Amino acid sequence: MSGIAVRYEAVRRQVADAADACGRSADEITIVAVTKTVGVPEIRSALSAGIVDLGENRVQEFLGKYGLFPEARWHFIGTLQTNKVKDVVGRAHLIHSVDSVKLLEHIERRATEAGVVQPVLLQVNVAGEDRKHGLAPDDVRDALIEASRLDSVEVRGLMTMAPLARAEEIRWVFRELRELRDSLRAMPLNGVELDELSMGMSGDFRVAVEEGATIVRVGRALFGR
């Protein structure tokens, strides 16, 4: 068994334990293996270990790895510039990082031209960090209203990136995203489903699962430093 396979099993156990602790099923949670800086042999090993979902945060890397491993479910998890939308739409299983209505509209145009419906998540800057992208929590409702008017974009939920800190110190970030999602679910919006919460990375995914994450983005814990 490869080192990646061993680490993947360890991550799966931790996800299952965290889910069990809050009365959830591990089957509700998708582990996205973040392949930033990861080479072809490691990706091949990850797929052999049973990992299905892979995530990239740079468009050029995303395109290259998507071309080599089209059998994977590729998630785009990084900042997406409007002039790069055409490279991601139709290829990404899910775009996690939609941080503005302007970007939503660009995705809509490209998806319509390609004849596809593109699933996305709205990125929310829960912690209000200047260095982080994302909608302010108070702006998410209006963005969802705009999204409901689009035919070729499907909003499936919300995503956030927590500050770099000890897991317990940032639990509130994950809790606030879940509470925001829950408060918005009652909105009767066409084509908007808020089933997914993408939150939690290698250092804090257990806490994120306890607070309701349905997708965790894990790199270092799977591939090493």
Q: For residue 133, how many other CB atoms are within 10 A of its CB?
A: 17
* pLDDT tens sequence across 5-26: 999 999 999 999 999 999 999 9
Looking at residues 120-144, what average pLDDT do you find? 93
pLDDT at 129: 83
pLDDT at 175: 97
State which residues form the domain around 108: 3-223
CATH number of the domain encompassing residue 12: 3.20.20.10
* Total count of domains within the chain: 1
* pLDDT tens sequence across 95-112: 999 999 999 999 999 999
pLDDT at 225 over 80: no
Question: What is the value of pTM for the model shown?
Answer: 0.95
Confidence of residue 187 (pLDDT cuts 50, 70, 90): confident
